[in-house]
Structure 1
Amino acid sequence: METMRVLVIGAGVGGLAIANGLLGKGHDVQVYEHHDALRTSGAGITVWSNGTAALRELGVDITDRGHQLDSLRSLTESGRLLWEADLDEVTERLGSPTVQIPRRELIAEMAAALPPGALQFGRRCVSVSEHPDHVRVEFADGSSAVGDVLIGADGQRSVVRQQVLGGDPAKPTGWASWQGLTRSDLPVATGRQTLNIAGRNAHCGLIPTGDGLLHWWFDMPWKEGDRVHTVAELREMFRGWPGPVVALLASVTDDDLGFFPHIRHKVPHIWGGPRSTLLGDAVHAMPPAVAQAANQTLEDAWLLTQYMADADGSPAERLRAYEFERRPRVLKVSRTAALTSAQRRTPIQRIARFPGWLATHSQVVSLRSGSNVLRSLSPKPRLRVA
């Protein structure tokens, strides 16, 4: 296998995941982050079976670090049970567990697995130029870096995407989330059951995250220019909802409240140039309606690692083959997330079909007669160029 020098822009979930994967295959990898330290913002992340399987194959196992979930319950806003699912069965059928983990801990775990010097902070990418035998990145501080391949993992406002592809930025969907990660005395915080509550014009979720932490979120229609709600307003809007929701809102303050609008990227046919590609939110940012954004990012990193480990093909052939293989799957997930959000359905509403849906849409897991499922990663996928 030819060793390549790979430049990764962005030290979020995708950037750190691909760095771990490629370093494990013997490549020389440098990750450049425009912040001065790891970004520890955000609440919790639900890493489904496809995500935990991808992480494990990339060399990072969070099974013991995160909080394993074993069931999922969905109620109406009046407290009527809609459905309940056994996630242990999903784990058994798909061969990998569902784990809830604070985003900051996932980031720290992946960063800690990297060798000294692989992460560089305070390096904001401002320009990308590709040449027959190398790619060059210019940074805001006047420095530059040269490599064989460039991977843009710099999020929904990706500079790499803008530089390499141009085009429109991600567009708002008309919904937004108000969320937080707080310590709680509520019984749901100490269990292993996710609680989803579906209303006519809003959704709510409570997810135990381990060590008494509770990840909570409220999804509601919102458009740019609207005011952002306070906790006091949320208390009024969700008055009369099931007890845990009322109790939670009584215990938190505006300092606990995070806000982010839902957005969606148009997924292009080609994701880069002769020596560049994208992964994660840089290429397919999607609303959180099916809780797959981070998981699809991890799948990107897993598949790209497989193609970059192949001894055959030029960098351009390997990168286009990764995109050609990945795009149909992630496009389906993105469309499902957008449709689910637009129709105001509860996330993963048809949970009884979730294992099959996940296997069908995932390149990391496959469903085989209700057993086994981590697809063999050898031999490597066949190279194809669009």
Structure 2
Amino acid sequence: MRIIVTGAGIGGSVLALALEQFGEKEGIDYVVLEQAPALTEVGAGIQLSPNGVRILERLGLADDLSRFGVEPESHQLKNWKTGETVLQTPLKAVVKDTFGAPYYHAHRADLIDALAIRLNPNRLRLNTKVVSVDQDGDKVTARLADGSSEIGDVLIGADGIHSVIRNQVFNPEPPRPSGYVAWRGMVSTERAAHLGIDKQSVAVMGPRLSIVFYYVSGGTKINWVAIGASDDKIHESWSQTASKDEVRKSFDDWYDHAKGLVDLTDELFVTALHDREPLRGWVDGRIAVMGDAAHAMLPYHAQGAVQSIEDAWVLARSLQMGQDDPIAALLKYENLRKDRAQRLQLHSRNAEHWYHLDDAEEVARRDTRLAAHALN
């Protein structure tokens, strides 16, 4: 079986490593087509829960994760004015024993580097843009921008929220704007020492504004992401810079951690937040989608990356076990993954509302429910 993978982000790279591992003795051939000239990542943080970490460890990344990952002691939801903890959920002390793998915070670039160094260079084509795909009864063809093509038995679209494969084969509707934007920054731990920020996973919810912050890069940096409502026409790109004064003003009435992190950030970036509508199906004949191409979601449950990792593992195993019938193997993958990922997709969309409540009575009800949960 020959498998064409379009996209070498987190999901596509994990799929490639799994195919390499599963297919070594079983004759699985594959190629990864990546339009970028090099595998790089923006300077953003990422949360890796045990459902993703367990797979990464199976692929040989355990030492890397323990080196650059940070295990938070707990997850804390805080009041935006006082900094009071509304809900605290233990993580480090219980997660590994409960779920079989740790919970890590990490720098996305560190994870991409750890994946990239393990990719088989003979199966990776960089600077290779897929412009269209087609299929017949026996084969699928990816047509490339340089006029050449790749032919395989199946094709997997792992090419992100703006997926060429999704748009051509499944649903051409554009990503859905949420009406919120995210500002992000990175601060060295040394510079932020006076703020006294513990190694926790912290989310602070305020009126139409929230911020999440945590340690990354082995504890040497603090990553923060603030999300707020916006009517401005900001594009969906993590390379856009933002005004520090503008962001700082948003946190004027907040307790000191949010304001302090913004003040210490040398360069701020901003992006509009989008997700996509759930697809009726992820498979069309010999073509399937995965990751953000299948289920791009908002960040409130921190599951976008690890759902892509889950997709990759299940897809690789399904193809390994179903080489005699590739179409059936793809349908098995869809059956195992679609409902779970789409539930998280919709839960993340719904969470946007209660993260940013601005009605005092609604906030009080939310915080009372959270406090009651903490007692249980």
- TM-score, structure 1 normalization: 0.84
Aligned equivalent of 1:18, options 2, 15, 18: 15
Letter of the 2:255 partner, please give it: P
Aligned equivalent of 2:347, options 327, 336, 353: 336
| 1:14-59 C-alpha deviation (Å, 9 max, x unpaired) | 1101111111111222111111111321401110111101222344
Task: Find the residue that maps to 1:207 and give its secondary structure.
Answer: strand
How many percent of aligned residue pairs carry the same amino acid? 30
Aligned to 1:248: 261
Question: Equivalent residues in 2 for 1:309-324 (5 A)?
Answer: 309-311=320-322, 314-324=325-335
Distance of 1:264 and 1:350 partners within structure 2: 26
Aligned equivalent of 2:76, options 73, 81, 101: 73
Tell me if the contact between 2:234 and 2:271 (Cα under 8 Å) persists in the aligned partners: no
Equivalent pairs counted in the alignment come to 348
Distance of 1:147 and 1:351 partners within structure 2: 54
Alpha carbons of structure 1 residues 191 and 81: separation in structure 2 relative to 1, 3 Å:
closer
Alpha carbons of structure 1 residues 353 and 301: separation in structure 2 relative to 1, 3 Å:
farther
Tell me if the contact between 1:190 and 1:208 (Cα under 8 Å) persists in the aligned partners: no
Task: Find the residue that maps to 1:161 and give its secondary structure.
Answer: helix
Distance of 1:135 and 1:333 partners within structure 2: 31
Question: Equivalent residues in 2 for 1:1-386 (5 A)?
Answer: 4-26=1-23, 27-61=28-62, 62-65=64-67, 66-78=69-81, 79-88=83-92, 89-184=94-189, 185-187=191-193, 191-209=198-216, 210-223=218-231, 225=233, 230-253=243-266, 256-311=267-322, 314-344=325-355
| 1:351-385 C-alpha deviation (Å, 9 max, x unpaired) | 9989xxxxxxxxxxxxxxxxxxxxxxxxxxxxxxx
| 1:207-258 C-alpha deviation (Å, 9 max, x unpaired) | 10124211101100124526985211111110132222222121123xx212
- Structure 1 stretches of at least 4 aligned residues deviating more than 3 Å after TM superposition: 57-60, 187-191, 226-229, 349-354
Alpha carbons of structure 1 residues 319 and 121: separation in structure 2 relative to 1, 3 Å:
same
Letter of the 2:76 partner, please give it: R
Superposed displacement of residue 269, structure 1: 2.4
Tell me if the contact between 1:262 and 1:287 (Cα under 8 Å) persists in the aligned partners: yes
Letter of the 2:153 partner, please give it: D
Distance of 2:88 and 2:171 partners within structure 1: 44
Task: Find the residue that maps to 1:68 and give its secondary structure.
Answer: coil
Tell me if the contact between 1:127 and 1:163 (Cα under 8 Å) persists in the aligned partners: yes
For structure 2, the 5+ residue unaligned runs are 236-240, 358-368
Superposed displacement of residue 289, structure 1: 0.8
Distance of 1:204 and 1:33 partners within structure 2: 33
Alpha carbons of structure 1 residues 17 and 226: separation in structure 2 relative to 1, 3 Å:
closer
Tell me if the contact between 1:189 and 1:214 (Cα under 8 Å) persists in the aligned partners: no
Letter of the 2:133 partner, please give it: V
Task: Find the residue that maps to 2:179 and give its secondary structure.
Answer: strand
Tell me if the contact between 1:190 and 1:212 (Cα under 8 Å) persists in the aligned partners: no
Q: Higher helix proportion, which one?
A: 2
Letter of the 1:29 partner, please give it: Y
How well do the aligned residues superpose, as a CA RMSD in angstroms?
2.4
Alpha carbons of structure 1 residues 226 and 271: separation in structure 2 relative to 1, 3 Å:
closer
Distance of 1:126 and 1:275 partners within structure 2: 17
Letter of the 2:109 partner, please give it: R
Letter of the 2:245 partner, please give it: A
- TM-score, structure 2 normalization: 0.86
Letter of the 2:206 partner, please give it: G
For structure 1, the 5+ residue unaligned runs are 355-386
Task: Find the residue that maps to 1:67 and give its secondary structure.
Answer: coil
Letter of the 2:80 partner, please give it: E
Alpha carbons of structure 1 residues 241 and 18: separation in structure 2 relative to 1, 3 Å:
same
